[in-house]
């Protein structure tokens, strides 16, 4: 293993906190990863990593060397990608919210792979806050801008939202007429992944955001379950319009209070501020931005 490959391995071990996970990322035997870092430490004459039975973390010397390695590796990749013949290649790890993946990303992937045949995409689903560096994720798509200053947020699209209920719910409780006259109605609670608390319903009234908390017999933290529960008549929900368009079309769900809709949701792609983007991440972000713009308009 040459020095550049050893640097790549070392940075991955630091980021993943594990020899085994780093070796899996780079398609190496775990023993090879361990031996390579030992040789690196012997050559430098310093201890780079603290090893425990459960975790691996950088020593102060290791942290300093890690930062230098990142700079060197970024310079190498940037230099190579500057040539017109450079092709993005390698494993790209992204994390997306499931319904967005199914609606906007997966149907367009054949075009992506036709344009970039040397990229392998590993796509996980979730809406929790993730540690991109520690979990080895290149970028994530989320329906809100995080307050984490270590992430760069690029807005991809603004997604219209709607208040809906099932036809059975409307037949039982009536169709709401005003946002501030919801007595006798109930909602399905949606729990925030950030706080664990139930989010109120919200309505844009003459440009001002108003919120209402209604009684609920059920609260959930998954988008698909949220919509499924609404179809069973368990309460009002507020969701991106694209996620319920078929049900609105066939009458299974009914839109309520369209004159005071929820505020639209902005979709962002997030990536670490501390790292220069690799060519494969740059082309993916540019591609996904064009896909969202083509389907939803400018952000």
Residue pLDDT, tens place only, 21-60: 888 888 889 899 899 999 999 999 999 999 876 788 899 9
Report how far residue 32's alpha carbon sits from residue 10's, in angstroms, rounded to the nearest whole number. Answer: 12
Q: What is the mean pLDDT of residues 101-126?
A: 89
Domain of residue 67 covers 3-81
The CB-side HSE value for 12 (13 A sphere, CA atoms) comes to 24
For residue 73, the model assigns a pLDDT of: 82
Any bridge partners for residue 93, and if so which? 122
Residues 284, 230: one domain? no
CATH number at residue 226: 3.40.190.10
Same domain? For 203 and 280 the reply is no
Query: Average pLDDT, whole number, for the chain?
Result: 87
Q: What is the mean pLDDT of residues 220-242?
A: 94
**DSSP labels, 86-129:** ----EEEEEEE-HHHIIIIIGGGHHHHHHH-TTEEEEEEE--S-
Q: In terms of domains, do 230 and 214 share one?
A: yes
Same domain, 51 and 183: no
Domain identity same for 17 and 49:
yes
> Do 141 and 270 fall into the same domain?
yes
> What ranges make up the beta strands (E) of the chain?
49-51, 56-58, 90-96, 119-125, 139-142, 151-159, 161-166, 189-191, 198-199, 201-205, 208-212, 219-220, 237-240, 253-256, 265-272
- In terms of domains, do 153 and 281 share one? yes
Q: Give the predicted TM-score (pTM) of the model.
A: 0.69
Is the same domain home to 211 and 174?
Answer: yes
Please say which residue of 81, 98, 123 terminates a domain. 81
Read off the CATH number of the domain in which 26 is found: 1.10.10.10
Do 128 and 249 fall into the same domain? no
Indicate if 55 and 9 belong to the same structural domain: yes
Question: How many domains in the chain?
Answer: 3
Binned at pLDDT 50, 70 and 90, residue 298 comes out as low
Q: Return d(Cα 184, Cα 169) in angstroms, integer.
A: 12
The percentage of residues in the chain with a pLDDT greater than 70, rounded to a whole number, is: 91
**What gap in Å lies between CA 15 and CA 49, rounded to an integer?**
12
Please tell me the distance from the alpha carbon of residue 164 to that of residue 237, in angstroms, as a whole number.
Answer: 6
- The answer to whether 37 and 48 are in contact (CB under 8 A) is yes
| Claim to verify: residue 241 and residue 181 sit in the same structural domain | yes
Judgement on whether residues 151 and 169 belong to the same structural domain of the protein: no
- pLDDT tens per residue across span 60-102: 999 889 888 887 887 787 677 666 566 888 878 898 877 788 8
Q: Among 273, 15, 49, which Cα is nearest to 133's?
A: 15
Q: Name the residue with higher pLDDT: 16 or 85.
A: 16
């Amino acid at each position: 293993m040459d020095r550049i490959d050893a640097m790549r391995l070392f940075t991955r071990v630091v980021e993943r906190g594990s020899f085994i996970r780093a070796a899996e990322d780079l398609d190496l035997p775990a023993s090879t990863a361990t031996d390579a870092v030992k040789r690196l430490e012997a050559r430098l004459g310093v201890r780079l990593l603290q090893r425990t039975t459960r975790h691996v973390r950088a020593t102060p010397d290791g942290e300093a060397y890690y930062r230098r390695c990142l700079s060197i590796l970024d310079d190498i990749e940037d230099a190579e990608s500057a040539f017109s013949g450079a092709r993005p290649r390698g494993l790209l790890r992204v994390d997306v919210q499931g319904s967005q993946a199914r609606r906007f990303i997966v149907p367009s992937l054949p075009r992506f792979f036709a344009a970039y045949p040397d990229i392998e995409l590993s796509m996980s689903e979730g809406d929790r806050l993730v540690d991109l560096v520690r979990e080895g994720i290149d970028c994530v798509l989320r329906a809100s801008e995080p307050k984490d200053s270590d992430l760069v947020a690029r807005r991809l699209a603004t997604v219209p939202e709607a208040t809906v209920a099932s036809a059975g719910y409307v037949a039982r409780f009536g169709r709401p007429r005003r946002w501030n006259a919801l007595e006798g109605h109930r909602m399905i609670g949606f729990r925030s992944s950030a706080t664990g608390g139930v989010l109120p319903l919200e309505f844009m009234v003459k440009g001002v955001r108003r919120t209402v908390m209604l009684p609920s017999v059920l609260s959930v933290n998954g988008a698909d379950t949220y919509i499924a529960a609404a179809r069973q008549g368990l309460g009002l929900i507020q969701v991106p319009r694209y996620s319920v368009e078929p049900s609105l079309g066939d009458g299974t769900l009914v839109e309520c209070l369209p004159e005071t809709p929820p505020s639209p949701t902005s979709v962002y792609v997030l990536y670490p501020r501390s790292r220069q983007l690799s060519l494969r991440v740059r082309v993916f972000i540019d591609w996904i931005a064009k896909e969202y713009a083509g389907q939803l308009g400018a952000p």
